[in-house]
Structure 1
Amino acid sequence: MSLKIYCLHYAASDRVVWLCEELSELVPSFKYELFVYERGMEASEGKKMLVSLHAAGTAPTMVDSTVSPTITLAESGAIIEYLIHVHGQGHFSVSLSAGPHAYAEYSHWYNWAGASFQAFLDANLLGQALTALKGAPIPEDGMAYLVHQAFKNRTLNHLKQLDDRLARSKYLAGNEITAVEFYMIFSLTTFRVFLPVDLAGHANVLRYLADITARPAYRRTMEKAEKGLQPLIQPLVPLFPFDVLLGAASWDTVPGLVKDGQ
């Protein structure tokens, strides 16, 4: 019987691996197995494995056979909550016992991370992809252009919300790390290898990322899940070409990124 986490490189998997590494420090009985695959198309080893585990076929996927019957989850937000409450003794959660104000902040930012911030980043990425496929910008007199601009503007508003919040609080739900950070981290770091979100001018967000990525558990996450990729906390992250994203080349072939000691 075991708890297994299945991941792809450069995916939202980082959220769950980081949580597992933190729980490994706090809960002596917490153990997990990690399986990491290259990103790839439908016929790739990783994709076929994920599809065999869950109909979603997405990373991360969790398989918990320490309970009977076995539980399989494929949404990172759900996996985070499950691990915290089932295996993590409630670490990194905020309950109603903390009071309605603390609970409201926690609930708001946890849901905002996925339903607002990441959702609009995904929409921005789609607009960028459509532009690249067409070989020309979206015409400015069309609905697609207006919608894409609205998505981009909303992301700018989101970054301001984040920076303003982090000017008042060390972390998003207060002065201690919570599940919010695990859910948020991918959007502000690894996701930016796909979409050029510039954090220049958002000093509080950059401070927040520096604090998080200095944690030993986060550093171990990058070693185990991302081949030693250095924390992506600079204001503008280099975009990764397809050969890197699909595992045909290493991340340290990307201009602007080098391994320690090189």
Structure 2
Amino acid sequence: MITLHHLNNSRSQRILWLMEELGLPYEIQRYQRDAKTMLAPPSLRAVHPLGKSPVITDGEFTLAESGAIIEYLVARYGAGRLAPAVGTPAHLRYTYWMHYAEGSAMPPLLLKLVFDKVESSPMPFFAKPIARAIAGKVKKTFIEPQLRQHLDFLEMSLGQSDWFAGADFSGADIQMSFPLEAAAARGGLNESRPRLMDFLARIHARPAYQRAIERGGEFELQ
């Protein structure tokens, strides 16, 4: 039996969704973020030394990292579903988006989150104007242009096919869901990019996505 070590409002939601798409039997071990720090609890380190989510255990095997988990579950339990055939152009696109999601799309979104926190965090009154000025400058000159560039690229990419890897829904769309959810929450994604907004609407309408939300509980990114 697969166990998903599930942290609220985290990347583990897409692993939950994947298992619902595949119709796999699984159990959920729940963990809650610290209300002040928003960090995962120390108990996750008992499962994996980094104490991050998602993590799955499958028998005696433990695996972390969203992309690795998706590839493992699709390869072992997918029976040809949710991944294009190896050697096809669609599979090359599939591989690209599986790596792009965390390697390219998420870093500017994480930087945006960090510098937003710098602007809003309590600090001595004399330091606040300086910190806010630095954070605002970094966001305006580096982070926000990077976000716009990536969103334009993604909008263009979905003009080539209905899904990221091609005509068929795949694990790459599940992997890409988290950066796009985060972009809609804090990265400037809105109706000005209709293909990306349509992608989010289509995944939200999938029965497996809705079942994952019901089982996983709250999922609201800041």
- Partner Cα separation in structure 2 for residue 88 and residue 55 of structure 1: 28
Q: 1:202 to 1:53 in 2, by over 3 A?
A: same
Q: Please say if 1:103 is aligned against 2:91.
A: yes
Deviation at 1:43, TM superposition (A): 11
Judge conservation of contact 1:127–1:148 (CA < 8 Å) in 2.
Answer: no
- Tell me, in whole angstroms, the C-alpha distance in 1 between the residues paired with 2:191 and 2:18: 27
What is the TM-score normalised by the length of structure 2?
0.85
How far, CA to CA, are the matches of 1:168 and 1:87 in structure 2? Answer: 29
After superposition, residues 128-139 of structure 1 pair within 5 angstroms as: 128-133=116-121, 135-136=128-129, 138=131
In the alignment, what sits opposite 1:18?
17
Tell me by how many angstroms 1:147 deviates: 6.9
Letter in structure 2 aligned against 1:18: W
SS at match of 2:98: helix
Structure 1 distance, partners of 2:135, 2:195, is 35
Matches within 5 A, 1:164-203: 164-189=156-181, 193=185, 195=186, 197-203=188-194
Alpha-carbon distance, 1:212 to partner: 1.1
RMSD (CA atoms): 2.7
Q: Deviations over 1:16-74 (max 9, x none)?
A: 000000000xxxxx311112222127999x62331110001011110110xxxx11112
CA distance in 1, matches of 2:116, 2:69: 29
- The gaps in structure 2 that reach 5 residues or longer are none
Give the deviation of 1:3 after TM superposition: 0.9
- Give the conservation status (yes or no) of the 8 Å contact 1:138–1:145: no
Structure possessing the higher relative contact order (Cα contacts under 8 Å, 6 or more residues apart): 2
Counterpart Cα distance in 1 of 2:183 and 2:6? 15
> 1:253 corresponds to which residue?
none
Q: Distance in 2 between matches of 1:3 and 1:198?
A: 34
Alignment length, in residue pairs?
Answer: 216
Could you tell me how far apart the structure 2 residues matched to 1:189 and 1:88 are?
25
Equivalent of 2:72 in 71, 77, 82: 82
Contact 2:119/2:135 (CA < 8 Å) preserved in 1? no
Match of 2:155 in 1: 163
In structure 1, the partner of 2:5 is: 6
**Identity, % of aligned pairs?**
27
2:101 match:
113
What stretches of structure 1 of length at least 5 have no aligned partner? 25-29, 233-238, 241-262
Partner of 1:260: none
Q: Does 1:125 align with 2:124?
A: no
Residue 108 of structure 1 aligns to which amino acid in structure 2?
A: Y
Take 2:204 and 2:95, find their aligned partners in 1: how far apart are those partners? 23
Cα distance in 2 between the residues matched to 1:78 and 1:187? 16
